[in-house]
Amino acid sequence: MKKMLLNLKIAVFLLGMGFSINAKADYTVVASGDWSSSATWGGTAPGNAVTGQNIVIPSGYTVNLNSDVTFSGLLNSITVNGALTSTTSNQITMNSGALAGTGTIDVNKVSFTGLSTITFAGNLMVKQLHSSANLLGFVAVGSVSDTLFLEAGNINLNTNGNLTMMSNSTVKVDNGSLNINAGVFNSGNAYNVMYVGASKTSGVELNTVTLQNLTVKLNSNSQSVTLANNTTVNGTLDLSSGKLSFNGKKLTLKGDITNGSGAVFMSNGTSDLSIEGSGSLTGSLMFDSGSSINNITINRTGSATVKLVSALSVAGQVSLIEGTLNIMSPGNLTMNSNSVIHIEKGSLTATSGGIFTGTSAYDVHYMGSSDIGTGLELSGSGLKNVTINTINNTNKVIVSSNATVTGQLNMVKGKLDLNGKVLMLNGTIQHASNAAFTGNSSSELHLNLTAVTNDTIYFDASDSASHTLGKLKMNIPSNSMIVLGSALHIANELAFTSGKLKLTNGDLMIHSAGSITGYDDTKYVVTSAEYAGSVVMNVNSGGAYVTYPIGLSSNYSPVHIQQAAAGATGNFKAKCEVMYTQMMKSVDRMWFLESSAATVNANVRFGWQAAAEINSFDRTNAYVSHMTGTSWDVVSAGSASVSVNNTYELSRTGLTSLSPFAVVEPNQPLAISKHTKVEGVELFPNPSKDVIYVKIPNSSEEYSFELIDITGKTIMSISNTNELNKVDVSNLKSGYYFIKINNLTENKTATKGFVKQ
């Protein structure tokens, strides 16, 4: 019964309300003019507070809003088919009822509250548009030149609805929201967004490329703005109060950052942050406790610095394209397992107590097109793989402090300048010829490699001062080799712990203050006829024997050189090669010695292992044969002595000329006869892989050519009278050969040696 009485009272109230509304007169414009002018309405003007009445501005009429107007009327409307304009700061407040029509509204401010609605489908141009209505279905073509204030409720941009924020305008979001429902939020101008009030999720207002400034100014730092989509801020991000949660999205900042006390970012391992633009940031990156991030990119020009002043862990990649990421107390940047630091022109530093934590396995990539010094990225104990892959071969990555790589050093392109520091490689190495190490007399390279498959390392061949190390440590798996693809100088020490070093494209020079240590018959320097490269060491006049720990990949064949007091101090070069003959009872070795000393008076011991002896060679009846000019000499035979490292040795003393040498039994066919010399013969290239060119001084005379191996055997004869003669040597085995040039007209000859690679 009580419920029936209540319903009856409501019905009576509504009937009375309707009667009251119908009892009031509507207002229709009859002439263009001011809102407050009776002439505009053909009688009494509506006044500043309109309740329960309809306002109609027909097409063809313009009303100047010269006073503030408040409109109320649940079943009433302001219908503008003409124009409603204002040259002052006056406003319309819609408490209830509808704003309708198809004309033009150009006023300072329109506010929608409570149960007000909008069906207006014309042109709506305002400085300020405020909405706290429950729901506004927007179908007008509108523009806001100052502020769109979303106090409460929703604005739905429906079909044909088009809302444009003008340059420097602001969308201020409190408890309201802006949504797309087949309409358009046209944000082609640079506008701003401000969030106030309590926690909320971003909407359409951030889904543009022209967003200028973003302000987060919530009621407290416990409140948050959560990104619903990837967001780009072209101007300043003012994190005044509250939290900005990335929510797995990407935030791109192209302008500046300012911070309020306690305001922070919130992020997780699927979120991205990109700092772009130019110049250092005014504020800092402050993240909420426990925050992580997937990718963070610093790309700020102009010697810019971005400061991190909180803990942040990285799941994906830190990309330092340009600018410095500086960790400052209480900042702590932690690299998670399998994360990457990618550096092009940027850097990673820490000051004022900032911490870099790299204890988990992470990688570092150096790329870009400019020289760059390393930073904290190489300091972590978890540093795993490092890649050098710059745009140009000449770009340098300059090591700023000692570093240890536990995974793979991948040298693809560019230079790695050790810069007087110690680089320890405790994993593996891949090294392309487009990349090179550079160093100096204080630099150290420790090859503590876990796996090697004849990997090659290169030093900068363009600058002799750059292919220098203070120390090279060889600690690779036993019986494996590191190939040296360039010349290298060692100022202090070549230290063998395990494995071999093979020369292929240049000399290994040990400076006068340097030495080779730790060598034996399993770890030494490998040389061969196939490749250029000798070991160069200083031998002092009247000093002790200097050991050259050389050999072939198969076994050890050292040389020990002593310069007698009658000889001068100077550098001596030594290498050994395969004899490449099965005809002799001999050691299957040839040793090539050279010296830059002004005077040579050398004593030399030549060593070999039993595996190098061929054709039932008798080491108790043998001698060292030395080629002088074009002939192998013969000296008294003797018995080889047993030496260290499973070697046998024979000596020659009082040598005043060098290269080559062999160890043979007596009466073996090592001889090339002497002849009257032909002058002016040239032989090139030397060494050669495919062809040798012989240039003769006089093509009018008759010549023939003989290709002779190291034993003196003629393996090819050619008759030719050309000034430049081509000899195909591509089918020869690698080794040392001679070409004898016979001048048949004058009965003279010349013999030239060359190396077939």
Indicate if the pLDDT at residue 76 is higher than 70: yes
Task: Round to whole Å and give the CA distance between 134 and 534.
Answer: 88
Chain segment 724-746, per-residue pLDDT in tens: 888 888 888 777 777 877 777 77
Helix (H) or strand (E) holding 609, with range, is none
**Token pair of 549 as six digits:** 């720990």
Distance CA 334, CA 115 (A): 53
Name the amino acid, one letter, at 46: P
Strand partners, 446: 424, 473
pLDDT value at 23 more than 70 = no
Q: How far is Cα 202 from Cα 385, in angstroms, rounded to an integer?
A: 40
- Mind spelling out the 3-state secondary structure of 152-170? CCEEEECCCCEEEECCCCE
The yes-or-no verdict on residue 41 having pLDDT over 50 is yes
User: Which DSSP letter does residue 203 get?
Assistant: -
CA 68 → CA 24, 43, 76, 100, distances in Å?
21, 20, 18, 18
Report the C-alpha gap between 46 and 51 in whole angstroms: 9
Q: Is the pLDDT of residue 499 over 60?
A: yes
Residues 6 or more apart from 180 whose CB is under 8 A from it? 156, 157, 204
| CA separation, residue 264 to residues 81, 228, 290, 528 (Å) | 49, 18, 12, 65
Instruction: State the pLDDT at residue 471.
Output: 98
CA distance 297 to 276: 8
pLDDT of residue 412: 97
Mean pLDDT of 448-458: 92
Judged against a pLDDT cut of 50, whether residue 49 lies above it is answered with yes
Is residue 119 a contact partner of residue 138, using CB atoms and an 8 Å limit? no
- Note the pLDDT of residue 416: 97
488: Cα within 13 Å, side-chain hemisphere: 31
Supply the mean pLDDT for the chain. 90
Segment 260-286 shows an average pLDDT of: 97
| Residues 720 and 703 sit within 8 Å (Cβ to Cβ) | yes
Residue 292 has pLDDT above 80, yes or no: yes
Q: What is the separation of C-alpha 644 from the centre of its chain, rounded to a whole number of angstroms?
A: 49
Q: Is the pLDDT of residue 13 over 70?
A: no
- pLDDT tens sequence across 223-242: 999 999 999 999 999 999 99
In angstroms and rounded to an integer, the radius of gyration of the C-alpha atoms of the chain is: 45
What CA–CA distance (Å, rounded) separates 375 from 635?
Answer: 63
Contact (CB, 8 A) for 530 and 506: no
What tokens does 131 get? 């909405």
Candidate from 173-187, 394-408, 664-678 with smallest mean pLDDT:
664-678
Q: Report long-range pairs for 400-406 (Cβ below 8 Å, ≥24 apart).
A: 400/373, 400/374, 400/375, 401/374, 403/374, 403/378, 403/379, 406/361, 406/382
Nearest CA-CA partner of 450 in 426, 473, 474, 430:
426
pLDDT tier, 691 (very low <50, low <70, confident <90, very high otherwise): confident
Q: Residue 676: its pLDDT value, please?
A: 41
DSSP assignment, residue 41? H
pLDDT for 496 beyond 50: yes
Task: Return d(Cα 451, Cα 432) in angstroms, integer.
Answer: 17
Using the predicted structure, report yes or no on whether residue 9 has a pLDDT greater than 50.
no
Average the pLDDT over each of 180-194, 242-256, 385-399, 697-711 and give the range with the smallest value. 697-711
Stronger pLDDT, 590 or 9, i.e. the higher one: 590
When pLDDT is averaged across residues 176-196 and rounded to a whole number, the result is 95
DSSP-derived secondary structure letter, 734: S
Question: If you ran DSSP here, which 8-state letter would residue 628 be given?
Answer: E
Six token digits for residue 495? 């230290």
* pLDDT recorded at residue 10: 37
235 CB-contact burial (10 Å; exposed 0-12 / middle 13-18 / buried 19+): middle
Beta strand extents in 151-271 (DSSP E only): 154-157, 162-165, 170-173, 177-180, 184-186, 191-197, 200-201, 211-218, 224-226, 231-233, 237-241, 243-245, 250-253, 257-259, 264-266
| The token pair that represents 220 in the structure block | 């407290």
Tell me how far CA of residue 438 lies from CA of 268, 379, 407, 442, 752, in angstroms: 41, 20, 21, 12, 37
Q: What separation in angstroms does the CA of 41 have from each of 21, 46, 132, 312?
A: 19, 8, 30, 67
The greatest distance separating any two alpha carbons of the chain, rounded to the nearest whole angstrom, comes to 147
Contacts of 725 (CB under 8 A, 6+ apart): 693, 694, 695, 696, 703, 705, 718
Q: By percentage, how much of the chain surpasses pLDDT 90?
A: 78
Res. 656: pLDDT tops 90: yes
Q: What is the DSSP letter of 610?
A: G
pLDDT of 679 reads 65
DSSP state of 638: B
- In three-state secondary structure terms, 269 is coil
Asked whether the beta carbons of 285 and 310 are under 8 A apart, the reply is yes
- List domains and CATH numbers for the chain: 535-664 (2.60.220), 682-756 (2.60.40.1220)
Residue 715: its pLDDT value, please?
82
Q: Quick one: average pLDDT of 521-550?
A: 93
Q: Give 207's contacts (C-beta < 8 A, 6+ positions apart).
A: 185, 229, 231
Q: Supply the pLDDT for residue 239.
A: 98
Closest Cα partner for 538 from 510, 508, 566?
A: 510
pLDDT at 5: 36
How far is residue 71 from each of residues 54, 55, 408, measured CA to CA in Å?
9, 9, 75
Strand partners, 663: 624
pLDDT in tens, 119-169: 999 999 999 999 999 889 999 999 999 999 999 999 999 999 999 999 999
In what helix (H) or strand (E) does residue 22 lie, and over which residues does it extend? helix 2-23
Going by C-alpha positions, the residue among 417, 411, 428 that lies closest to residue 480 is 428
Q: Mean pLDDT across the stretch 331-339? A: 98
Other C-beta atoms closer than 10 Å to the C-beta of 248 total: 15
Residue of 263, 179, 167, 271 lying closest to 216 (CA atoms):
263
Confidence (pLDDT) at 704: 80
Strand partners, 348: 325
The region of weakest confidence among 275-279, 316-320, 419-423, 689-693 is: 689-693
CA distance 563 to 80: 112
Residues in the chain: 757
Angle at 38 between CA 33 and CA 44, to 5 degrees: 140
Distance CA 68, CA 702 (A): 119
Q: Which has more confidence, 726 or 503?
A: 503
- pLDDT interval class at 720 (50, 70, 90): low
- Which DSSP state fits 272? E
The pLDDT value given to residue 716: 81
Banded pLDDT at 616 (limits 50, 70, 90): very high
Question: Residues near 43 by Cβ (< 8 Å), separated by ≥ 6?
Answer: none
Ramachandran bin of 630, using left for φ above 0, alpha for ψ from -120 to 50, beta for the remaining angles: alpha
What CA–CA distances, in Å, run from 88 to 41, 127, 687? 21, 11, 94
Structure tokens at 595: 């010296």
| Residue 130, pLDDT score | 97
